[in-house]
Amino acid sequence: MTIKAKKLKSLVTGASGFIGYEVSRQLSRDGYRPRLMIRQPGDDCEICRFDADITLADLKHPDSLRQAVKGVDGIIHLGARATFESYIILKPSILDGSIALMEAGIEAGVRRFVYSSSLLVYSGQASPVTADTQVNPLLDYGRIKVDTERRLSAMAASAGVAFTALRLPHVYGVRDLYFRHLQGGRLPSAWATFLEIVRQHYPNARVLMFPQRLAPLATALLTPFRRIRPNPGLETPGAVRSYNFNLAVDPDLLWQDLGLAPRYETIYDGIPAAVASTRETEILTTRLR
């Protein structure tokens, strides 16, 4: 008789976001039936077609999180305002929201908590980042990620919760903010290397290139308007600085731990593959209609 191992029930926050969408899709595809947390329903709910449960909750409203975490074994925490803005703007969702989520999870008996941090907890450097590299964030985004890691780690240790912070590098794909700007027909950019490859696939997009020295000033002039803009954007001094950081990572640092190998080792292979896969999906969707 074969006994199948129980598949753990996970809550995915930020499930409708760029990374959250893909994590949710793969968990659903592999039969885990995750619980996907979104802030509000909508007619364009792409994740609603997944084999998953949908829950409505908001990191800025701690009371809403109690029901979201009820009955799950682990939390994959991807939700937050993902843009390079000031500490005070990021704090309600990244730091305060994450602490509230951990508190709700501990109260509900959650055993595992995975937090999506950032490679920007480090500063630009000539040598690759290794497991021994000390954090030294230069941006508020990196600083608040470090503070959140430390608070969550301490809370998890006190409660006996297994905690992991994944310091993610730039994660790209045709559903991310950068590509969506290109698909919309225009993109302000100072990120020449990445753009050189991406632009080949969006020849009709109008790209506004800022000289590296002028880009921080131009985006700084827009800073006062960030508070009244509900959605994140690329037009911030922090975004400009981050795009010009030299932050290479030891290629074996994570892959060996996970026992995996990257399908596409560089953006020269990965970007064309991402664009091609999306266009194949668009064609299939059109035919089904």
Q: Where are the domains of the chain?
A: 10-171, 172-283
Predicted pLDDT of residue 201: 72
User: What pLDDT, in 10s, does the model give residues 166-176?
Assistant: 998 878 777 77
Q: Name the DSSP class of 9.
A: P
Q: Is the pLDDT higher at 22 or at 131?
A: 22
Distance (Å, rounded) from C-alpha 280 to C-alpha 6? Answer: 35
Residues in the chain: 289
Q: Are 75 and 55 in contact (CB under 8 A)?
A: no
Distance (Å, rounded) from C-alpha 109 to C-alpha 268? Answer: 44
Range in 48-52, 109-113, 268-272 with the lowest mean pLDDT: 268-272
pTM for the predicted model, two decimal places: 0.79
Question: Mapping DSSP to helix (H, G, I), strand (E, B) and coil, where does residue 157 land?
Answer: helix
Q: Are 98 and 115 in contact (CB under 8 A)?
A: yes
Q: Is the pLDDT higher at 162 or at 3?
A: 162
| Average pLDDT of the residues in 40-59 | 87
Q: Is the pLDDT higher at 270 or at 44?
A: 270
Extended strands (E) in 90-239: 112-118, 162-168, 186-189, 206-209
| Average pLDDT of the residues in 132-146 | 93
End-to-end Cα distance, the chain: 45
Distance (Å, rounded) from C-alpha 143 to C-alpha 149? Answer: 10
Predicted pLDDT of residue 231: 55
Just give the CATH number of 10-171: 3.40.50.720
